[in-house]
Amino acid sequence: MDTLTHAISGAVLARATAANKPSATDLSLTARTVAGFLVAAFPDSDYVLTFFDPMLYLTAHRGVTHSIIMLPLWALALSFVLQLLWRQRYHWKKFFPVCALSLAIHIFGDVITSFGTMIFSPFSDVRISLSTTFIIDLYFSGILLAGLVLSFPFRKFKMAALTLAILCGYIIMQAILQLQAREHAQDYANINGLTSARISVLPQPLSPFNWKLIIENGDDIHMAYVNLFTEHAPRDPAPDAGFLEIVASAYYPVKQAQWEIINRFGNNNREQALARLVWQQEGLERFRWFAMFPVLFRYEDNNEKQCAWFADMRFSLKGRQPPFLYGMCREKMDAHWNLNRLSRKIPQ
């Protein structure tokens, strides 16, 4: 989830859990709101890792700052920081519950996305992902923002608590849609004899009805973008179409799904030989651990050098170059491979 949405969720939760009749030593509603907002944004401070090592960001982001094991320690530390910010007006113990709840709702907001969250860090690097919600969901964010705004004039009606209840209902709806998307992917797998293939369905932007269906069968990845609600094929985007229009044009009705079959290592023997060689290199170990659906994105094989870069199809969108493009390169006369990140825009 994006950091602003996380912060708003913390503010809403802080208001929803405020006492009806606070005592003189309790946090004021304003203090709770500000504390919830700030603390719920804190776990994403690990973004600074990208400035030191982009690959470290892939392997450490959503790690210790998103850990339920570390949560009490973070809540304690942040409680002391907030006590100082409020110039000792409130005891740190008053901040602690708000900090713990705000960290918890941040972790939950990330677990429901597809990126994966290491909630047991530092003792385990297992990434937990429910994949019900796209990482930037405007409906999700809109519910929270509307609830936060309305909670000021309608506090007595527990608008913040109602907002969280509505949000839970929205997530449950997404989980039901996820099951429907999986059923459609399973139907495709059964029809095409992919009985032992691994099926995954991932939420997509713009609509909770948009889903990406992925079926892994050996080195072949069968993938389709579908909309579970519409019965009409999308219009082709105009030549001057904006980014959102291009993305929206990818999602077809289930019955008209445009299935694409992608070989993980390329389309011909030359590509595959180079891609397989690069994929096995020690320098790509961390990317191999991170990527769920790696495929060859681009390769170079000329008189000067050899390179191959991989993308994770979790993050592919029509009209947008996938992020996190990593590979290896070497000079033609050199046996040593070097890690390389492909960051420049490549024409689609």
Spell out the per-residue pLDDT of the chain, length 348, in tens: 999 999 999 999 999 999 888 888 889 999 999 999 999 999 999 988 777 777 888 889 999 999 999 999 999 999 999 999 998 899 999 999 999 999 999 999 999 999 999 999 999 999 999 999 999 999 999 999 999 999 999 877 799 999 999 999 999 999 999 999 999 999 999 999 998 999 999 999 999 999 999 999 999 999 999 999 999 999 988 888 888 999 999 999 999 999 999 999 998 888 999 999 999 999 999 999 999 999 999 999 888 899 999 999 999 998 888 989 999 999 977 889 999 998 765 444
Which has the closest alpha carbon to 302: 327, 325, 264, 270?
A: 270
Q: Which two tokens stand for residue 83?
A: 């006590």
Tell me the backbone φ, ψ of residue 284, rounded to 5 degrees: -100, 10
Place of tokens 């681009």: 298
Q: Which two tokens stand for residue 260?
A: 């694409």
Place of tokens 């009409």: 232
Q: Report which secondary-structure segment, H or E, holds 235.
A: none
pLDDT at 88: 86
Which has the closest alpha carbon to 184: 205, 220, 215?
A: 215
Tell me how many degrees the CA angle 72-77-82 measures, rounded to the nearest 5.
120
pLDDT at 348: 43
pLDDT at 45: 94
- Tell me whether strands 220-227 and 252-253 are parallel, antiparallel or unpaired: parallel
pLDDT at 133: 98
Alpha-carbon span 307 to 305, nearest angstrom: 7
Q: How far is CA 83 from CA 12, 38, 55, 74, 144, in A?
A: 21, 13, 36, 14, 27
Alpha-carbon span 206 to 223, nearest angstrom: 19
Neighbours of 181 (CB within 10 A): 24
- Tell me whether strands 210-217 and 198-203 are parallel, antiparallel or unpaired: antiparallel
Over its C-alpha atoms, the chain yields an Rg (Å, rounded) of 23
Which has the closest alpha carbon to 212: 200, 225, 222?
A: 225
pLDDT at 56: 85
Alpha-carbon span 9 to 203, nearest angstrom: 20
Q: What's the whole-model pTM score?
A: 0.92
